[in-house]
Structures are given as C-alpha cells and as structure tokens.
C-alpha cells in the first residue's frame, strides 16, 4: 500500500506536466508579458519599442473620465442585473419544477435564448426597441402604445439605454441560472419538505425555512457567476449602441478593446486589463468570504 502510494507520488508530476506546460505557455507567460507591457508606453504596431513609464498607465487610467465612466456603467449594469436576474431565475425555477413532461417545453423555452448567439439577439432586440418613426415602431413601443404609454427611444435615450440593455441581457441570461436553480431544487430532500408540510408549515414557510437554506450553495454560486458575467458586459452594448449615446452604455471591456485596437495603445490597454482582473478577482473573493461567513 505504501509502495503504491509512493509510486503514485512519483508519477503525479508527470501527469501534471502537460497541463502545467500548456497553462504556462498559454496563460502564465502571456499574462506576464502583458504585465510587463502595462508599465511601458508600448505601441501595438511596434511593441518592442516601448519605454518604461512606471505606474503612469495605471494612475492615468484611474483619473481618466472615460475609463471611470466605463467602470460606473458596468457596475450599474451589474447592480441592475444581478439581483433581478437571480430572483427571476429562482422564481422561474420554482414555477417550472414539476415532473409532468409538458413542463419540459416551458423549461426549454426559457433556456433557448442562452444557446442563441448573442449578436443575433442583439440585432433582434435592436429591432424590438426600434423608436417610433412616423407610424413604424418596434414591438416594445407598439406594446406600450396598447396600454396608452408614449413610445420611447429606448437605445437612443441616454437615461434608458443601459436599463434597456440590462433588460435584454436579463432575458437572455436568466435561463442558465434557472437551470442551475432547478438542479438545486431537485437536490432538496423531499422528506424534508414533506416533514415540514406535516408539521403544518405553509408554502411560504417551507420556502423560507426549508428550501432556501438547502439552496444556499446554489445561490452563492449563481450570484457569483452572474456578477462575473455582468462585469464582462461587451457584445450587447457594442452591437446595439456602440457604447452610446455619448458614453452612457460604454462598458469596461469595450474601453479596453478600444484602447487596444482603435488607439492601439498596448501599454495602457494591458494596464486596463490588469485593473479589470484585479476588480473581478476582488469581487469573487468578497463574495466567497461573505458566503463563508454566512455558513459559519
């Protein structure tokens, strides 16, 4: 037994090697290169000729109104999306969590937008949000008209564009979280729910005191993943508004993309990417910490 364990220990590095080598070449090395560039004024077209400029890229970015606006937009998007999407996914999961086969269709319907390519959905929703022009208007405005509300220029109005994109993103992403919650719900021991029912707990009490506590890990997972995905916002605003009107839907990723490929300012773009990495890493850590404290 001991000999077997020893041979295992000896073999382990060899089994790890291919994965570690690939990670080193395709993840660690590029990240170190990017980190080194972030302290220079390297030009994308001539990266070798950059000069070291210390932390100037970082201090510059933190003071840059455009980058700060991109951060504020992205954070606001996350604040709009994460709580609502999590709650909506949970309610949908409760609703469709039934054994009869007919409910499968509904589950599929809610999940469908997750598997459709985002650019297609972006074009589709741009049409739905079409502002009124003469008698022609998008479906959203037409529906508003049915209840007597005036049409809105959804994606063209600085105060409505980000919420409109958040609503579309929520619709697109909610199916995935719903599936995770469904899996969680089906893992709740039936005996527990039945016991609560026999003890006279109503539907609300069962939900509050039995189902939710059993789903805590699922909930933490869903909130963490939704937050990280929300901060990676890019495709929807890039295709639907190009970050406009003004900078009202400019996302962090779009600002990094533009610094890299439009301004072609490689050093600054790498610095921005590292600030983004720090931000997302910090968020993940904070949420883990919060989850652990609740469990204790």
Partner 1 sequence: MRAIAAAFNAAHAAHAAQRVRVVLTFFPDFHYTEKIAIAAAARDLPDVLDLDGPLVARFASAGLLRPLEPWFSAGELADFLPTILAQGTVDGRLYALGAFESAAVLYYDRAMLAAAGVAPPPDGRGWSWEEFLAACARLRRAGIEPVALHMNEGADEWFTYAFSPVVWSGGGHLISADGRRVRGVLASAENIRSLRRWQDLFRQGFAATDPLDPDPFGHGRVALDWSGHWMARSHAAVKGDRLGAMPLPAAGAQPVAPCGSWCWALTTAAREPALAARWLRWVTDSRHGIEPVVQANGAVPARRSAFAAFPDYARPPYRLFRDQLEHFARPRPRTPYYATLTSQFAAALRDIAHGADVAARLLTAEDEIQSVIDRREPAGGTAVPPAATGETAP
Q: How far is the CB of 81 from partner 1 (least distance, A)?
A: 24
Which DSSP category does 57 fall into? H
Which residue's CB is nearer to partner 1, number 52 or number 202? 52
Q: Smallest gap, in angstroms, from Cβ of residue 169 to partner 1? A: 20
In the complex, the smallest distance separating the C-beta of residue 244 from partner 1, rounded to whole angstroms, is: 5
Pairwise CA distance, residues 162 & 159, whole Å: 7
Is-contact 66 247, C-beta < 8 A? yes
CB 137, min distance to partner 1, A: 10
Task: Using the minimum distance from each CB to partner 1, give the nearer residue, 118 or 153.
Answer: 153
Sign of the CA dihedral running 199, 100, 204, 215: positive
- Are 182 and 96 within 8 A, CB to CB? yes
The residues that touch partner 1, with contacts defined as CB under 8 A, are 41, 43-47, 60, 64, 66, 127, 130-131, 133-134, 136, 153, 156, 239, 242-246, 258, 261-266, 268
CA distance linking residue 47 with residue 91, whole number of Å: 51
CB of 243 vs partner 1, minimal distance in Å? 7
Helix runs in the chain, H state only = 2-23, 29-37, 56-63, 65-96, 102-115, 118-128, 139-146, 161-186, 190-198, 203-206, 212-214, 216-231, 235-240, 252-261, 266-295
The two tokens of residue 80 are 């709009």
Q: Output 19 or 45, the one with its CB closest to partner 1.
A: 45
Strand partners, 259: none
Q: Which is nearer to partner 1, 41 or 97 (CB)?
A: 41
Give 130 or 224: the residue with its C-beta nearer to partner 1: 130
Nearer to partner 1, 97 or 264 (CB): 264
């Amino acid at each position: 037994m001991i000999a077997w364990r020893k041979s295992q220990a000896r073999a382990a590095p060899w089994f790890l090697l291919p994965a570690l080598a690939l990670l080193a070449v395709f993840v660690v090395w590029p990240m170190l290169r990017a980190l080194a560039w972030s302290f220079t004024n390297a030009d994308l077209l001539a990266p070798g000729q950059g000069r070291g400029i210390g932390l100037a890229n970082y201090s510059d970015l933190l003071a840059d109104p455009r980058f700060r606006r991109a951060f504020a937009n992205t954070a606001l998007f996350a604040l709009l999306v994460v709580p609502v999407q999590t709650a909506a996914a949970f309610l949908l999961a409760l609703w469709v969590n039934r054994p009869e086969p007919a409910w499968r269709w509904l589950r599929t319907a809610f999940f469908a937008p997750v598997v459709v390519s985002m650019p297609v959905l972006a074009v589709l929703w741009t049409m739905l949000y079409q502002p009124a022009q003469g008698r022609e208007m998008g479906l959203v405005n037409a529906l508003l008209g049915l209840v007597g509300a005036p049409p809105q220029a959804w994606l063209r109005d600085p105060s409505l564009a980000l919420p409109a994109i958040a609503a579309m993103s929520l619709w697109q992403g909610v199916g995935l979280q719903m599936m995770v919650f469904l899996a969680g719900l089906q893992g709740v021991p039936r005996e527990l729910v039945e016991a609560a029912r026999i003890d006279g707990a109503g539907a609300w009490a069962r939900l509050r005191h039995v189902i939710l506590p059993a789903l805590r890990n699922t909930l933490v997972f869903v909130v963490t993943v939704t937050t990280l995905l929300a901060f990676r916002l890019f495709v929807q605003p890039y295709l639907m508004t190009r970050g406009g009107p003004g900078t009202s839907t400019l996302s962090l990723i779009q600002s990094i993309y533009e610094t890299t490929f439009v301004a072609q300012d490689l050093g600054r773009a790498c610095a921005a990417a590292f600030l983004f990495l720090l931000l997302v890493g910090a968020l993940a850590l904070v949420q883990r910490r919060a989850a652990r404290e609740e469990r204790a």
